[in-house]
Amino acid sequence: MRILVLNAGSSSLKFKLYKMPQKDILAYGLIEKISEELADIHLFFAKSNYKKQKYIKDHQKALKIVEALFLEFGILKSFEELDGVGHRVVHGGEAFSEPTIIDDEVIKVIHQMIALAPLHNPSNLLGIEAMRALNPKTPQVAIFDTAFHQSMPKSAYLYALPKEWYERYGVRRYGFHGTSHFFVSRQLAKLSNRDLKDINAISLHLGNGASACAIEGGCSIDTSMGFTPLEGLVMGSRSGDIDSELIFYLERSTKLTFKQIEWDLNHASGLKGICSDNDMRTIQERISRGDKEAKLAFDIFIRRVVKYIGGYAMLFKSLDAIIFTGGIGENSALVREHITKHLGLLGVVLDKELNKISSSLPRVIHASNSSIELWVIPTDEEDVIAKESFRLLKNLVKE
């Protein structure tokens, strides 16, 4: 079976073509700056790569270009050869706790969730609707970021707010990055040769967006992102946890509107708000030159992560592992070192030499006398989407 995985952003389209169940990657790529003056097209296949710039009107035109490139380079004759398409969808609310074959009703619910994920769900729908328009007979699957966290107990997902807000308006903690936390927890079980049901772990997806997740026996029991991806850890440009009263203080006491405050919390806060940079690589380089603002941003980032680890550790009878993933978690030895040096109370001991090793492979970084395992496991959300799409579609499609 040939499964195309799509991750549509507001002006971008990531794609990866798999041959399943072998999990062979036939091609992958990215189209950026859709609807702008010049879009950037990147395609990688068979140790080759193709790059070009041209104007692309919308996501449907972008998909047509992907189909044409697949034909040009002999990857596929057309999208009619596809057995299925898997989509990353950020918000499924309480409606979806599992990957789901997309039909009119599913699309309707994704539309309804736009109010809860206005920055993400509209973009995700663009990819679904563009593929439907181009190739309506090909089955499509939605894999929801929120689905993994539907296992959280009420004590974790309910806010201490009037219960009518939840019952009437759906105000609760949903959690995000679920596909990533799902993947790395399963990889941990596989790599350590243990039954997933016997493992308690804290997964740290650290990147421009960042979240922590407490995972018990393969199930999410708590996570740092909440009603939206704004809650929780300090992120590249998102604030993470704040006193909600400050929003009303700012609206009353300044000329800022609620819309401006919302934009600032999502796009001008976090690391960027503190030191004007949201790239941890740049921040670390600035720290090496003695930049105090960069060091402050770094310290605030670390402190918030440590607080969540400490809190989540107390939810378990025992804690087996801490997993680092995401762009920062996988690649910043300095971040990992500064987080783990605060965890001595838990018996965590980092092997500094193992931590310094730069690799794209999963690896342990704990010392032999550490009470808790420390793992770096690169995330692969496309892998999850491809496998889950194949699992749902294999009985519908004739080989």
Which of 77, 107, 83 lies closest to 19 in space, CA to CA?
Answer: 83
- Domain interval for residue 18: 2-144
Q: Residue 3 in contact with residue 390, Cβ under 8 Å?
A: yes
**Percent of residues, the chain, with pLDDT higher than 90:** 90
Looking at the fold, whether 130 and 235 belong to one and the same domain comes out as: no
The pLDDT, as a whole number, for residue 116 is 81
Q: Return phi, psi of residue 297, to 5°.
A: -60, -45
CATH number at residue 365: 3.30.420.40
| Res. 133: pLDDT tops 80 | yes
- The residue with greater pLDDT, 304 or 123, is 304
Please indicate whether residue 40 is annotated as part of the active site. Answer: no
Q: Residue 10 in contact with residue 125, Cβ under 8 Å?
A: no
Looking at the fold, whether 343 and 272 belong to one and the same domain comes out as: yes
Looking at the fold, whether 200 and 332 belong to one and the same domain comes out as: yes
Q: Has this prediction a pTM greater than 0.85?
A: yes
List 58, 104, 145, 383, catalytic entry: 145
Residue range 151-170, pLDDT digits in tens: 999 999 999 999 999 999 99
The pLDDT, as a whole number, for residue 10 is 79
Using CB atoms within 10 A of its CB, is residue 42 exposed (0-12), middle (13-18) or buried (19+)? middle
Q: What mean pLDDT is reported for the chain?
A: 95
Cα–Cα distance for residue pair 173/80, rounded to 1 Å: 40
Looking at the fold, whether 115 and 207 belong to one and the same domain comes out as: no
The pLDDT, as a whole number, for residue 222 is 98
Mean pLDDT over 339-348 rounds to 98
> Which of 126, 144, 162 lies at the terminal end of a domain, its last residue?
144
Looking at the fold, whether 103 and 233 belong to one and the same domain comes out as: no
Looking at the fold, whether 264 and 364 belong to one and the same domain comes out as: yes
The pLDDT, as a whole number, for residue 399 is 47
Looking at the fold, whether 199 and 344 belong to one and the same domain comes out as: yes
Residue range 171-183, pLDDT digits in tens: 999 999 999 999 9
Mean pLDDT over 253-259 rounds to 96
> Which of 115, 144, 173 lies at the terminal end of a domain, its last residue?
144
Residue 104, in any domain of the structure: yes
> Which of 144, 179, 203 lies at the terminal end of a domain, its last residue?
144
Residue 213, in any domain of the structure: yes
Mean pLDDT over 228-242 rounds to 96
Residue 185, in any domain of the structure: no
Residue 128, in any domain of the structure: yes
Looking at the fold, whether 129 and 217 belong to one and the same domain comes out as: no
Residue 398, in any domain of the structure: no
Cα–Cα distance for residue pair 194/356, rounded to 1 Å: 26
Our count of domains for the chain comes to 2
Residue 52, in any domain of the structure: yes
Residue 166, in any domain of the structure: no
| Res. 119: pLDDT tops 80 | no
Residue 310 Cα to chain centre, angstroms: 22
The pLDDT, as a whole number, for residue 397 is 60
Residue 388, in any domain of the structure: no
